[in-house]
Every structure is written in C-alpha cells, then in structure tokens.
Amino acid sequence: MKVKVLQNILDANTQMAQKNQRLLDNHRILALNIMASPGAGKTSLILKTIARLKDKTRIAVIEGDIASTIDADRISDQGVAVVQINTGGGCHLDANMVENALNNLKLNEIDLLFIENVGNLVCPAAFRLGEHKRVVLLSVPEGDDKPIKYPMMFTESEAVVINKTDLMPLLDFDLDAFKRKVIGLNPDVEIFQLSAKTGQGLDPWLSWLEAELKSLRA
Ligand SMILES: Nc1nc2c(ncn2[C@@H]2O[C@H](COP(=O)(O)OP(=O)(O)O)[C@@H](O)[C@H]2O)c(=O)[nH]1
Ligand SMILES: [Mg+2]
C-alpha cells in the first residue's frame, strides 16, 4: 500500500513537471536542474556562468534551500532575476514548487534558467521539475567513490561537473577512476572538470550551454 501511495506522488509530480516543461518550451527557455551535495559549488558555478554569459544571454535562477535567502541574495547582487524556494525541511524541490516559482518570473525575458536544487545527493534525483537537462556536480573533496554510493544521481543526469579541481593536488581524488565509474553508469553523459573558484576549465561548460541554447532555438 505504501509503495502505491509513493507511486501516486511520483506520477503527479511527473505530470506537473511535464506541464512546467511545456511552459518553458513555449517561452523557449532552456532549464537546467543543478544537483549536488551541500557545498559542492552549485551557487559558485551559477555565479561564474552568469559573469561569463550575462551580456549575451538572459539568465534567471530558482534557488532551492531548506531555509534562508543567502544564495538568492548572492544571485540578486549580480542583477539577475531570482526566486527563492524554501522547502522548510524538504530535502528536494518538486515540480509544484517550481511551477509556483515560474509564476513569479517574467518568462518572456529569460533564455536560460538555472534551478539550484536543495543540497543533497539522493532525493533530488527522483523528482523531475520540468527541466531540459539535469546536471550533477561532484566536488573533488567529496571523493571519487560517490557514483558507486549514489548511482541514481549519475544515471539520471545528462551532465556531470567535477568541481574544485584547484584542490586536486591536495587530495587523492582519482580522476580517471571517477570518470570510468560515471561512464560505466551512464555512457552518454557529458563530463566537465573545472574550478568554479578560479574559472579554470569553464570554457567547455559554457560551450555546451551555448550549444544547448542554440539547439532549443533551432
Ligand atoms: N577551492 C574551491 N572552492 C570552491 C569552488 N567552488 C566553490 N567553492 C567554495 O565552496 C563553498 C561552497 O560553495 P557554494 O557555491 O556555496 O556551494 P553550494 O552549497 O553547492 O551552492 C564556498 O566556500 C565556495 O567558495 C572551487 O572550484 N574551488
Ligand atoms: Mg548554494
């Protein structure tokens, strides 16, 4: 019985996610669901991307956190439209929350929408939001074994970003082993390695975003 209830919740969420995606498609907005552990660098990557793309791309952000507006304030300081969702304890965003957030954005003025999910390497993977692409960040200090321990996050994503590569010399992160594990789970996934702090390695990530934007508009 419990399984059935959970299934109903997931079905309802999937339907709402499809509705969100239709709305985004109608406005030709590329939406990315950014998922990772707390502190992996989600907000830092969004901020660096804003700094590099905002002159040619209209960007907006939906920030998901259990509490506070700290991240939304950081985004807003850059002059970018942002809506904060506080889940009040919930460990992930769902499609209903995102629908409410979309109602509070000027969709005609957006090309690229980042949805920063709640910091968690487990729950966000199970809930579609209406995004076009799912991106999981893994920062080097978290260790190269995480695809084995949290496989769903890696099987459900279209892109993996290895962040904090500037810390690589200090740690024993095995980059090749990590990539092998990720490709073993998800052979078609895009893998980027960068430092959201220094900006090193950012160009392939930006090129991928620009190509995705272009293909949505083609
Ligand atoms: N050394 C280093 N620190 C980073 C990098 N990216 C983010 N950080 C730091 O990691 C901490 C958490 O970053 P934040 O973007 O808030 O992570 P979030 O919780 O995933 O949004 C902050 O102190 C950042 O300055 C990176 O590439 N290298
Ligand atoms: Mg954040």
Ligand 2 is an ion; its neighbours by CB within 5 Å are 42-43, 71
User: For residue 175, how far is its CA from the centre of ligand 2 (angstroms)?
Assistant: 24
Contact 62, 98 (CB under 8 A): yes
Higher pLDDT, 79 or 6: 79
Task: Check whether 1 has a pLDDT greater than 80.
Answer: no
pTM of this prediction? Answer: 0.96
Of 97, 56, 63, 55, nearest to 81 (Cα)? 63
Domains and CATH numbers, the chain: 2-217 (3.40.50.300)
Distance (angstroms) between ligand 2 centre and the Cα of 66 equals 11
> Tokens in use for 58?
């209209």
Tell me the pLDDT tens digit for each residue of 168-207.
999 999 999 999 999 999 999 999 999 999 999 999 999 9
List pocket residues of ligand 1, CB cut-off 6 Å.
36, 38-44, 119, 163-164, 166-167, 195-197
Structural contact between residues 35 and 153, judged by C-beta atoms closer than 8 angstroms: yes
- What tokens were used for 184? 């073993």
**Given pLDDT bands bounded at 50, 70 and 90, which one contains residue 2?**
low
Q: Is the pLDDT of residue 137 over 80?
A: yes
Rounded Cα distance, 202 and 195, in Å = 7
Residue 61: pLDDT above 60?
yes
Pocket test for ligand 1, best of 33, 44, 71 (most atoms within 8 A of CB): 44
* pLDDT reported for residue 47: 98
Closest residue CA from atom 7 of ligand 1:
41
**What average pLDDT does this structure show over 140-148?**
98
64 bridge partner residues: 85
Q: Residue 137 CA: which ligand is closest?
A: 1
Q: Which two tokens stand for residue 75?
A: 């985004």
Cα–Cα distance measured from residue 52 to residue 145, given in angstroms and rounded to the nearest whole number:
31
